[in-house]
Amino acid sequence: MRPINVAVVGAGPAGIYAADILTKEYPGATVDVFDRLPAPYGLVRYGVAPDHPRIKEIIKALRRVLSRDEIRFVGNVDFGTDVKLSDLRPFYDAVIFSTGAIFDRDLDIPGIDLEGSYGAADFVSWYDGHPDYPREWPLTAKHVAVLGAGNVALDVARMLVKPADEQLTTEIPDNVYQGLKVNQATDVHVFARRGPAQIKFTPMELRELSHSPSVDVIVHPEGFEIDEASEKAIQATKAVRLVADTLLKYMEAEPTGAPHRIHIHLCQAPVEVLGEDGKVAGLKVEVTELDGTGNARSTGEFKTYDVEAVYRAVGYKSSPLADVPFDDTDNVIPNAGGRVLDLDGEHVPGTYCTGWVKRGPVGLIGHTKSDAAETVANLIADIDSTPAPEHDDRDAILRHLTERGVDFTSWDGWVALDAHEVSLGEAVGRERIKVVDREEMLSRSRG
């Protein structure tokens, strides 16, 4: 087995797991993990909600991987702007793309572009302190609609009603705390197109909604429909049963009179965002009914809700990468088991993908591990037929980046920035406070 040097583009969990598995399974492999940000960890840092510190703990394991000698983090390098595939090829035996997803999927209903209508992903990037998003978020709406029935919808609803001071134990940056402090939202309405057995919440996230003493969770009885197919799903899958049970408990519970409420509306499909003077003024939904197959069909009955803001939480989508094949329908890199395919369905030699950009933006962090294992196994199987790179000096790429004026950061740089964030937190009894400004991130990374 010849020694190999591999580039991973995207330092989220998928890329880090790929680096980990590759260096364990292929003795002598070295890996450079590039990211467009000076901070690694992708959506674990910039997607997972700040009040989920237990999930964010995964970062400790990812950090151990990135600190290994055979793996090198190279931050602040944007694939597409700073480097292209043709720049990387001479230095690496293979390139693995793991660029995940950061943007909202579109929702094609009238009024979705009105002022006051937002994508959940943008809001998430704001409250998680992503450096490329505005520092301020308009939180003037008292009544808000969240469209979608997955965990991101729950994150958004929870973040919109949980008082700022309850968030002060978390790593939220100061601008987010100040923004949440003046948040006016009292009632957040979450809309799901189908019934309690079809909803995509996970039981833990759903139960957690009621953990804040300032929030009542109200499940409205209309649409709490359990048909034969639902009954079968409830019997077959424990998670479905737990979600349906939890929804029932919320439905039966007396509201405590808490100042904030999350309303869950089942079997209601948003059809139009209503506007007044160009701004969101309401939401029109169509009542649906289950059709016996687990899907919902229209009933022709409509309702409107007075809301001043709408968040669509209908999924994320990956973005195309320069000179890399992309499937615009499914928004993924076309691939077979992680081998990148061109338009003719042929493997583009030496190129691979993993994580959300490989299989679409679904699944938990843990799923990216098995995903990476498949990609790495195929990469290793191909090595004998993959041409070796021009350069075998591991530092040649860094010299190349410097010559091209790419202002990259290093693992030591991240360690310094990380220590700074922890020290900011320690000063006020918190675990960490995130640095948001990219220039500050860079200057801290340079020590």
Ligand X SMILES: Cc1cc2nc3c(=O)[nH]c(=O)nc-3n(C[C@H](O)[C@H](O)[C@H](O)COP(=O)(O)OP(=O)(O)OC[C@H]3O[C@@H](n4cnc5c(N)ncnc54)[C@H](O)[C@@H]3O)c2cc1C
What residue ranges bind ligand X (CB under 6 A)?
9-15, 34-37, 42-44, 47-48, 52, 55, 78-80, 98-101, 124, 152, 155, 316, 321, 355-356, 363-365, 368
Give the nearer residue to ligand X in terms of CB position, either 127 or 305.
127
Give the nearer residue to ligand X in terms of CB position, either 292 or 363.
363
- Least separation in angstroms between CB 214 and ligand X: 22
Give the nearer residue to ligand X in terms of CB position, either 96 or 141.
96
| Beta pairing partners, 351 | 95
Residue 340 CB neighbours (<10 A): 25
Q: What is the C-alpha end-to-end distance of the chain, expressed in Å?
A: 39
- Least separation in angstroms between CB 66 and ligand X: 12
328: left (phi over 0), alpha (psi -120 to 50) or beta: alpha
Give the nearer residue to ligand X in terms of CB position, either 97 or 305.
97
- Least separation in angstroms between CB 13 and ligand X: 5
Residue 224 CB neighbours (<10 A): 17
Measured CA to CA in angstroms, residue 280 lies from 37, 78, 141, 272 at distances of 34, 36, 10, 10
Check if the beta carbon of residue 195 is closer than 8 Å to that of residue 233.
no
Residue 97 CB neighbours (<10 A): 29
Give the nearer residue to ligand X in terms of CB position, either 48 or 441.
48
- Least separation in angstroms between CB 313 and ligand X: 8
Give the nearer residue to ligand X in terms of CB position, either 226 or 398.
398
Give the nearer residue to ligand X in terms of CB position, either 202 or 214.
202
- Least separation in angstroms between CB 2 and ligand X: 27
- Least separation in angstroms between CB 433 and ligand X: 20
Give the nearer residue to ligand X in terms of CB position, either 42 or 270.
42
- Least separation in angstroms between CB 325 and ligand X: 15
- Least separation in angstroms between CB 337 and ligand X: 16
Give the nearer residue to ligand X in terms of CB position, either 9 or 180.
9
- Least separation in angstroms between CB 317 and ligand X: 11
- Least separation in angstroms between CB 80 and ligand X: 5
Give the nearer residue to ligand X in terms of CB position, either 82 or 289.
82
